[in-house]
Amino acid sequence: MKNKIIPSLWFDNHAEEAMNFYVSIFPDSRIDKIHYYPENAQNEHLQGKTGKVLNGQFEIGGYSIVALDGGPLFSFNPSISFFVNFDPSRQKNAADHLQKIYERLMEGGKELMELGEYPFCKKYAWIEDKYGLSWQLILTDPTGEERPFIVPSLMFNQENTNHAEEATHFYTSLFENSRSGNLARYPEDTGPARKGSLMFGDFKIARHWFAIMDAGMEQDFKFNESISFIVQCANQQEIDFLWKKLSAVPESEQCGWCKDKYGISWQIIPEDMGELIENSAALEAMMLMKKIDIKKLENA
């Protein structure tokens, strides 16, 4: 089944290099496709980029991700990271596999939480790779409900702290095949997180799992456009609905991108977006849009 929601990673001219790096590390991984900037583009933002990578789609552990070369505007930070679940009931030598992937991702990277045993897990590390992308490697409990190998994780901090559970209800209300999962609460006030807020939770939207938490200590970073979530819509009606519900920052609306009330960025696009913008005229038309208009792209 085609993925409805796909994370998009913003790189500064390292998208193809990063895709090759990640598929060399993770099992069941490959680069699916790479799109390049078209020839003869008239838009000033596209000139001089002919033949360079626009974006690519790759899979790690069977999980689809898009990488784009957007320049130096945005940088990754730990507000959005990716859990990598090593489940001993599904994978022989899961702890050894965790160790090997940890060592590869640490090449040029750094630890945010060192590899070791924690009260919630026998083996866990939170690391930042050489591109600044954050990963949480965890040896999961095989007696719990099964989760995918890769799960994006949202850390709610600064003005968003104590709103993680509210966000869970908001997102699950927008998509079919959605529900809340685990909810673990802070037993007492912990830094900016109030008693009862989410120490950890997860939820499923459109069959895709997300983890979520309220930060238990002050952080100097917040959500930005470096990681966004592509939603592939079946028709203009679905684009219109999700745009109305998700877009809360008008100045962030551009080329199908919008930002919700928590600051998380979404790309609300048609399922066949790649085919629609294959020619330079359609790509230039898209660059002038805020919400995507399928008819205008088809006519470009």
**Which sequence spans correspond to the domains of the chain?**
5-74+224-299, 80-214
Q: Quick check: helix, strand or coil at residue 175?
A: coil
* Amino acid, single-letter form, for residue 100: K
* Amino acid, single-letter form, for residue 291: K
Fold of 80-214: 3.30.720
The model's pLDDT over 174-223, given as tens digits with 9 standing for 90+, comes to 999 999 999 999 999 999 999 999 999 999 999 999 999 999 999 999 99
Task: Please name the residue that has the structure tokens 């320049």.
Answer: 71
Burial of 220 (0-12, 13-18, 19+ CB in 10 A): exposed
The model's pLDDT over 235-271, given as tens digits with 9 standing for 90+, comes to 999 999 999 999 999 999 999 999 999 999 999 999 9
The band of 50, judged by pLDDT with boundaries at 50, 70 and 90, is: low
Cβ(265)–Cβ(253) under 8 Å? no
Task: Please name the residue that has the structure tokens 């991700």.
Answer: 65
Phi and psi at residue 220, to the nearest 5°: -105, 15
**What's the mean pLDDT in 115-119?**
95
Residue 71: both structure tokens together: 């320049």
- CATH superfamily of this structure's domain 5-74+224-299: 2,3-Dihydroxybiphenyl 1,2-Dioxygenase, domain 1 (3.10.180.10)
